[in-house]
A and B are shown apart, each in its own frame.
Chain A
Amino acid sequence: MKKAIGDNMISKAWGFEKGLDLVKQAGFDGIELWLGDVPWFQMSTADSEVRDLRRKIEDAGLVVSNVSTGLHWASPLSSREPKVRAQAMRIVEREIETAVLLGTDAILLVPGLVTAEVPYNEVYQRCLEALRSLGEKAARASVRIGCENCNAEHRFLISPREFWQFLNDVNSPAVGIHLDVGNIHDTGFAEQWIEMHGPRITRIHVKDVMKKRGRCGDQSVYTNLFLGDNNWPAIRGAMTKVGYDGWLVAEMEARYRYAPDQQFYDTARAMDRLIAARL
Chain B
Amino acid sequence: MGITRRRFLGCAAGAVTMGLPGLPLDLWRPGQASVAVETSPQHGRSGESVSGYESALASLGPRFRCAGASWVSRCAVLIVPAALELPPSAARAIVRCLQAGASVILESGAGFAAGRDFHAHRVVLRDYLQVRVEAPVQLWPAHTSSQGIPYVDYTWPYSAKVRDFSRVVTLGRQPGEVIAWVDGLPVALKRRSGRGTLIFLGSPLGPALWAGDAEARRWLFDVLARQGVAPVDRVRGNL
Instruction: State the A residues within 8 Å of B (CB).
Output: 80-83, 116-119, 121-122, 124-126, 129
Task: Tell me how many residue pairs across A and B have CB atoms closer than 8 Å.
Answer: 33
Q: Scoring B residues 123 to 152 as 1 if CB is less than 8 Å from chain A, else 0, what string do you get? A: 000000000000000001001100001000
Task: Decide: B163 and A82 in contact? CB cutoff 8 A.
Answer: no
Residues of A within 8 A of B143 (CB): 116-117
Kindly report which residue of chain A lies nearest to residue B147, judged by CB atoms.
A116
CB-contact partner of B210 in A82, A117, A118, A125, under 8 A: A125
Given A117-B166, A121-B211, A122-B211, A82-B140 contact (CB < 8 Å):
no
CB-contact partner of A126 in B48, B112, B144, under 8 A: B48
Residues of B within 8 A of A129 (CB): 1
A82-B46, A117-B143 given. 16 additional CB < 8 A pairs? A80-B112, A80-B166, A81-B112, A81-B166, A83-B112, A116-B143, A117-B140, A117-B144, A117-B166, A119-B211, A121-B213, A124-B211, A125-B48, A125-B210, A125-B211, A125-B212
Task: Decide: A82 and B112 in contact? CB cutoff 8 A.
Answer: yes
Kindly report which residue of chain A lies nearest to residue B46, judged by CB atoms.
A82
A159, chain B: closest CB distance, angstroms: 19
Q: Is B14 an interface residue (CB 8 A)?
A: no
Docked Cα-Cα span, A81 to B144, in Å, equals 18
Docked Cα-Cα span, A117 to B111, in Å, equals 15
Docked Cα-Cα span, A129 to B47, in Å, equals 11
Residues of A within 8 A of B165 (CB): 80
Docked Cα-Cα span, A119 to B112, in Å, equals 18
Task: Decide: B44 and A82 in contact? CB cutoff 8 A.
Answer: yes
Task: Decide: B112 and A122 in contact? CB cutoff 8 A.
Answer: no
Docked Cα-Cα span, A197 to B125, in Å, equals 51
Docked Cα-Cα span, A81 to B213, in Å, equals 19
Scan residues 185-235 of chain B and give those whose CB is less than 8 A from a CB of chain A: 207, 210-213
Residues of B within 8 A of A124 (CB): 211
B183, chain A: closest CB distance, angstroms: 14
A275, chain B: closest CB distance, angstroms: 43
Kindly report which residue of chain A lies nearest to residue B204, judged by CB atoms.
A80
B160, chain A: closest CB distance, angstroms: 17
Residues of A within 8 A of B207 (CB): 80, 122
